Structure 1
Amino acid sequence: MLAFLPPSSCCLTCSLARWFTVYTALAVVIYGSPAFGHTLQSPDGRIKVRVGLQDDSSPSRLAYSVFYNEEELIRNSQLALVRSDGVTVGAHLERVSIGDVEAHDSTWRPAYGERSIVRDCFNSRPFRYQDTKAKCSFVVDFRCYDSGVAFRITLNASESSQVIEIAKENTQFCFPADHTAWCTSQPQGTYTARKLSTIDKLVERPLTIKVDHDRYLAIAEAGLVDYPALRLDRSKEDSCTLVISLHGGARRAGSLQTPWRVLMIADSAGGLLENNDLLLNLNEPCAISDTSWIRPGKVLREISLTTEGAKACIDFAVANNIQFVEFDAGWYGNEYSDASDATTITVDPKPSAGPLDLTWVIRYAEQRGIGVILYVNRRALERQLDEILPLYQEWGVAGIKFGFVNTGSQKWTTWLHEAVRKAAEHELMVDVHDDYRPTGYSRTYPNLMTQEGVKGDEATPTSRQAITTLFTRNLAGAADHTICYFERRVERNWTHGHQLAKAVCTYSPWQFLYWYDSPLSFEQDGVRSRSRIVETPELELFAKVPTVWDETKVLRGEIGQYAVIARRSGDDWFLGAMNNKQPRELEVPLNFLEKEQQYHARVYRDDSTIDTLTNIRIEGQLVEADESFDIRLESHGGQAVWLTPTSRLAQDVQVQPDSLSSSHSQLQD
């Protein structure tokens, strides 16, 4: 510091002036603007946000910067909205007040999730301004977590009856360098790794960005309920700046609030996934007083649309610890026809000749503890929602799978979340298919079990895509990946070990298994195009694996290359490892296990030398927390491991240690 002092011959005033010049220059280098005098930091102090007016510009705009361990991640990025009349709200700001920093630290228990206890710990600070030209207040609430930063804008009109109508949102994310991002332009699209400067289409959120080998960031959205969804576009002024692009405008009387704009920050791609409850924390607490009727589980899709096929699915579900059977498109007629009536059981003759006695099937399933889910296309949902919800409750239906819903605009975003709330009133769970991507609403209404918004197995993603999805789309929450097993695409594109691992790695409270497979024999069904479920030994893993968890850890992983994820349910741990084209061997530490406890590891791995339909070898070994586990992964392959404490295993009458080592002795080394 002394090196910056002027010569002693200068007067004190000159010294102070020169020192202030140096200090100001340093502030610009470090913080992007000398006006950034207001700071908010995370509870652990590693993440810092600096917020302030750009007083050196005319007019005055609000901007923010984000730092992680003093490294600048987001630089001098503006916040503004554009009204439908063309006036920019946030361009002529005068400060009203800067609120005090408030600390919050609590925990809550979700109805289900990737972890049984969620900690909600952050520091917050409101920044209040008045836009002198737009004649409305401009309030930005910032929250700083150990795992990221979130902010939202609230506009308040001068009168409660006055309508605020927004055409655009000009929120910026300015990066100091040309980082790599994993982009897709469609909710169910293919991801490609691109430099920020080469993004030439609107891209979906979450958008995962690699800042450095030990620094990852994702731009996400949380608390989207009645506002247009965001996508991201590259700025025309700066190739390393992204700006929000809304699916149309938004309007509200009196006050308009954006959803939370979120920056997830971690030292690894796996760290982003481990801390994705940040999006849940930014949603309202559960609004359902009694959630006892909300039930996660595995789902078998019934595709014959016949009474015989339905009975076979229910019997298979009972025998294999599957909790639900879902009846897909065609049970009430052609799903694409506005004339089809979802209050009737009218099988579409194109996919099925029937007959289907659905009311009998629902009773048969209920007597055996199996829930029935009915698929309904958006055409019937939009016309008949208020009619079918009480009817399905009367029938004893467990839930509805929404098909081809409209998404994006404020109108359809509002409609969809209202439909979820209405379903809750009738104790019906929901799976939203096609383009919907979650933003944490399942915390508020946990009857929203899962959703698609992902290029799942029915679209045959490459192994690289499936692994990329874990660290991109899955940051937003549950993904209905429609896992296949016996269908031919598995052998053509992946391995059966890859599919077993996917049931662990891909989180979905309703996990669909055997997407294209039928328990009916060809003699029963007569449809040659269907694949058949064969009772291979490794199906015990699908029967045992849970769909919700007490704890989740990403042990190793690189986007698009490989992933090793461990999840705990009670005393048991399940480990899934997925690989891309390059064969590899990985050493995985087991320090997540309970110390001074021995575990039996039941391993399901690819082995082309095993003479079975699926080429899965099953073997067992004893392991402890201070050891490492060697995983060998074939090209496009995978491996699953079921770890059980030997102290409990010895008392488990259903799975004795002896049976674990001998039940499939022909498969052992």
Structure 2
Amino acid sequence: MPFCFSRKFSSSSFTTVAHGLICLLAITACLMVSAAANAESLTSPDGRIEVSVEIDQTDQHSRLVYQVKVAGEVVIKDSPISFLRSDDAMIGEHVTLASTSETTTHDETWKPVYGERSSIRDHYRSRTFHLEDTQANCPLAVQFRCYDTGVAFCTTLGKENTELKLKEERTEFRFTSDYPAWRTTSAQGTYDKVPLNQLGKNVERPLVVEAGQHYVAIGEAKLVDYAVMRLRSAAGDAPGVVSQLLSEVTATAPLTTPWRVILIAYSPGQLLESNDLFLNLNDPCAIADTSWIKPGKVLREISLTTLGGKAAIDFAVKNNFQYVEFDAGWYGHEYDDASDATTITVDAKRSPGPLDLQEIIQYGKQRDIGILVYVNRRALEKQLDEILPLYKKWGIAGVKYGFVNTGSQKWTSWLHDAVRKAAEYELMVDIHDEYRPTGYSRTYPNLMTQEGVRGDEATPSTSLAVTTLFTRNLAGAADHTICYYDPRVKKNWSHAQQLAKAVCTYSPWQFIYWYDTPLTPLQDGKTTRNRILPSPELEFFAQVPTVWDETRVLQGDIGEYVVIARRSGSDWFVGAINANEKRELTVPLNFLDSGKSYQARIYRDDSTLKTRTQVAIDEQTVDAEETLTITLAPNEGQAMRMTPK
């Protein structure tokens, strides 16, 4: 209790009573000060981040609020957590604290089946606050985890074995100022930078906020059978954001929300280096034998013919690709409800055929090339339980789920169930269109990658691609559909930038040559195809892995430029992408092993070359003591491979 001061009076009965009253008032005042200051706290293992939790009693409400500090500076100020039930009762606005758990510490290092790192440390401190909402007659418990890289919390609501329906979740993230944030309202949309008070509603996550000297990303993890969380501006003039669910949520209690994540760093690069927090908040791998789950590079077969399929497989073998994918049209028109994904019926509007998929699968098996097929949501929703065992029988390696429904609790649950069902038949999955990841690939690593990004097939500006790296890609792998020979490359970007994207954009299944084909015009009957012709720099696509042992973000500014180094074994691959203005970047090579010399093979744009792609290749010897200078014009890039000599 704070120190209490009381004045000494002369000994008369009146003054004795007065003295007693004054002391009583003083003690009461001291107790009130003590109660207001009696916040429970939780610190990160390194002590730098602190989350404090208390019951805030104002305006006849009693709310649990949390606050986040970094090195003593408030980053998230007192923010409440509440829910609107289907009977319009608010849960979380009239709470009493029943109990608080002791602080526990968790520290383990686990190895993912694949990833941006070969090992991941899961180190945090945790406390759970058990409450009772007296007016809503509903128990709730909020669990907080404090990491060295941020804070996460989830809420468990409801009395056991009772039905609970939530109309809204109102989890708030209040900032200390009207900071700018990078906003998009579509998973494949463009971004703009606006103050928090102008965010509006339906904003995608992760939402990155430039909060003074910190960069803060608001996101969610372990979204499996709940509605997707979007974000909206907080009411009034208070700078901040509030959770916005894309549907009602119904469950048999207790109901636990997905994790609400606050990732904190001093730079955009630190945010990206810390993105394994989303994986750590998911359950460990649920698949006992993962030997059939294999990352790799993918060539999309665009002719939908047997000849094209075999040519694609031959190209894959020669160029160190692992998969060939047959996209829309192989089983009929993807938007026609009558199309049957159990048949091989080529859409005549896309290809004259013929397509013998069974023969192609066997041709691929003999050459260790897996075949992937695309299936639109119309067929998935009708035929999932039929096609998965059938595709396993055919020998297909994986399925690309197309135009899936997202947002609502119903479709979120259906989609993750579809991933689990695919695992039963040892089928890998790529989810396309609006789905954004929340770390479920830790639990079911057959979920290889997903779109939820404006990839190169939609011709994003370089600035948007670099913005995406520091926003969308915090959540996980992004199927960016890299192009190479399509005319849009020379018009909007550069060929060396495309090489760099294979390093900068993480995806365990990396689709390359999205619009390109190894077929000759004579073979496919067309002269407008983007032919994949031999060019010296294509060796980089053949050599670059899709998964990594170590990842370093060397430099970067959202929407402007980025330099990322990734290690596979003893080799380092570096990608640099530049957007809006000419830059000269100075890059220390201290990520290399000290005392070793490396042979650096550098792929750069050179407009003076009289070649189709205008990519020059240089070689030099480098070591950890050196610094490279990378000069990039607007919309250019550079790729490197560094191998120990």
Question: Shorter-chain-normalised TM-score: which range?
Answer: over 0.9
Task: Report the counterpart of residue 354 of structure 1 in structure 2.
Answer: 353
1:311 deviates by: 0.8
CA distance in 2, matches of 1:20, 1:545: 69
SS at match of 2:379: helix
After superposition, residues 552-571 of structure 1 pair within 5 angstroms as: 552-571=551-570
Paired residue secondary structure (1:455): coil
Q: Could you tell me which residue of structure 2 aligns to residue 182 of structure 1?
A: 182
Partner of 1:632: 631
CA deviations 1:65-107 (Å, max 9, x no partner) are 1101111111110101111110011112111101100001000
- Letter matched to residue 428 of structure 2: M
The whole-number CA distance in structure 2 between the counterparts of 1:255 and 1:503 is 44
Q: Deviations over 1:401-425 (max 9, x none)?
A: 0000000100000000000000000
Match of 1:610 in 2: 609
- Number of equivalences: 634
RMSD: 2.2
Paired residue for 2:487? 488
Alignment of 1:419-568 (within 5 A): 419-568=418-567
SS at match of 2:74: strand
Q: 1:245 to 1:8 in 2, by over 3 A?
A: same
The answer (yes or no) to whether the contact 2:174–2:238 under 8 Å persists in 1 is: no
Aligned partners of 1:196 and 1:239 also within 8 Å: no
Contact 2:196 2:233 in 1 (8 A): yes
Retained in 1: the 8 A contact 2:197–2:234? Answer: no
**Whole-Å separation in 1 of the counterparts to 2:232 and 2:339:** 40
CA spacing shift, 1:10–1:111, aligned 2, 3 Å: farther
Unaligned runs of 5+ in 2: 11-18
Secondary structure at the counterpart of residue 621 of structure 2: strand
Larger displacement relative to structure 2 (606-615 or 403-412): 606-615
> Which region of structure 1 is more displaced relative to structure 2, 268-277 or 56-65?
56-65
Distance verdict in 2 for CA 1:125–1:577, change over 3 Å: same
Letter in 1 for 2:258: P
| 1:651 counterpart residue number | none
The CA deviation string for residues 366-403 of structure 1, in whole angstroms up to 9 with x for no partner, is: 11010000000000000000000000000000000000
**Match of residue 667 from structure 1:** none
Cα separation, 1, equivalents of 2:30 and 2:208: 37
What are the equivalent positions in structure 2 for 1:198-347 lying under 5 Å apart? 198-212=198-212, 214-347=213-346
Deviation at 1:8, TM superposition (A): 11
Q: Which residue type is aligned with residue 394 of structure 1?
A: K
1:395-406 equivalent positions in 2, closer than 5 A = 395-406=394-405
Residue aligned with 1:618, SS: strand
Alignment of 1:102-117 (within 5 A): 102-117=104-119
Inter-CA distance 57–496: structure 2 relative to 1 (3 Å threshold): same
8 Å Cα contact 2:6-2:26 kept in structure 1: no
Residue matched to 2:49: 47
Q: In 1, distance between residues paired with 2:58 and 2:37?
A: 8
Distance in 1, matches of 2:545 and 2:100, equals 47
| Cα offset, 1:47, TM superposition | 0.5
Question: What is the deviation of 1:478?
Answer: 0.1
What do residues 107-150 of structure 1 show as CA deviations (whole Å, max 9, x unaligned)?
00000000000000000000001111222211000000000000
Task: Report the AA paired with residue 291 of structure 2.
Answer: S
Which whole-Å CA distance do the structure 2 matches of 1:341 and 1:172 have between them? 46
The equivalent residue for 2:172 is 172
2:156 alignment partner in structure 1 = 154
Contact 2:599 2:621 in 1 (8 A): yes
Residue 9 of structure 1, CA deviation: 10
Counterpart residue number, 2:376: 377
Code of the aligned partner of 2:279: L
CA-to-partner distance for each residue in 1:172-208, whole Å, 9 max, x for gaps? 0111101110110000000111111211232100001
Task: Note closer, same or farther for the CA distance 1:5–1:55 as it changes in structure 2 (3 Å cut).
Answer: closer
**What's the CA shift string for 1:256-275, capped at 9, x where partnerless?**
11000000001111001001
> By how many angstroms is 1:639 displaced?
0.2
Structure 1 residue 57, shift from structure 2 partner: 4.1
Report the AA paired with residue 284 of structure 2. Answer: P
Question: How far 1:55 moved relative to its partner?
Answer: 2.5
Match for residue 125 of structure 1? 127
CA distance in 1, matches of 2:320, 2:95: 60
1:528 to partner: Cα distance: 3.6
Q: Deviation at 1:529? A: 3.7
SS in 2 for 1:491: helix
User: What code does the residue aligned with 2:305 have?
Assistant: T
Cα 1:23–1:463 change in 2 (3 A) is: farther
SS across alignment from 1:338: coil
Residue 77 of structure 2: aligned partner: 75
Q: Counterparts of 1:577-592 in structure 2 under 5 Å?
A: 577-592=576-591
The one-letter amino acid paired with 2:193 is A
| Pairwise CA distance, 1:623 | 0.6
Asked if 1:163 corresponds to 2:160, the answer is no
Q: Is the 8 A contact 1:35 1:54 kept in 2?
A: no
Residue 196 of structure 2 corresponds to 196
